[in-house]
Structure 1
Amino acid sequence: MAESVYKVIELIGTSKDSWEKAAKGAVERAGESLRDLRVAEIVKLDMQLDEEGKVETYRAKLKVSFKFEG
């Protein structure tokens, strides 16, 4: 079997509802233009707050790997 090489990129997904939706949205969007996605690792979760200190946006930072071709 030939050896494989994988590339890792960072993505940041956002959602008004949850970290889960932010992460899922980032992976699904990446899947529209990248082939053979393998692993998504959540690196950091944070939130943007409004002037009143309420949650405005959930953000999920991910590392995503896919098989490197070429």
Structure 2
Amino acid sequence: MAVLKVIEVLANSDKSWEDATKNAIQKASKSVNNIKSVYVNEQSATVNNGEIDNYRVNLKITFEID
């Protein structure tokens, strides 16, 4: 029987929401093993001089406990 755990993480990127999501997974995978899925819970951005300058994501990462 598999036991799964969910953690919530926040990440950002100056390129895109997709890049922010990739950044979160890459960083989390350094300390969390057996990542099985990611759920993008929320997206937001900051604006400077009429342009988006920072993309932000709130993610739920699911991983299997050893």
Q: TM-score, normalised by structure 1?
A: 0.85
**In 2, Cα distance between equivalents of 1:8 and 1:60:** 16
What is the count of residue pairs matched by the alignment?
A: 66
1:66 matched to 2:51? The reply is no
Residues 1-70 of structure 1: matches in 2 within 5 Å? Answer: 3-50=1-48, 52-69=49-66
Please provide the CA RMSD for this pair.
Answer: 1.1
Q: What amino acid maps onto 2:64 in structure 1?
A: K
Highest Rg: 1 or 2?
A: 1
Q: How many percent identity over aligned positions?
A: 30
Q: TM-score, normalised by structure 2?
A: 0.90
Q: What amino acid maps onto 2:38 in structure 1?
A: A
**In 2, Cα distance between equivalents of 1:57 and 1:26:** 14
Tell me which protein shows more strand as a share of its residues. Answer: 2
Q: Which runs of 4+ in 1 moved over 4 A?
A: none
**In 1, Cα distance between equivalents of 2:7 and 2:50:** 31
Gaps of 5+ in 2: none
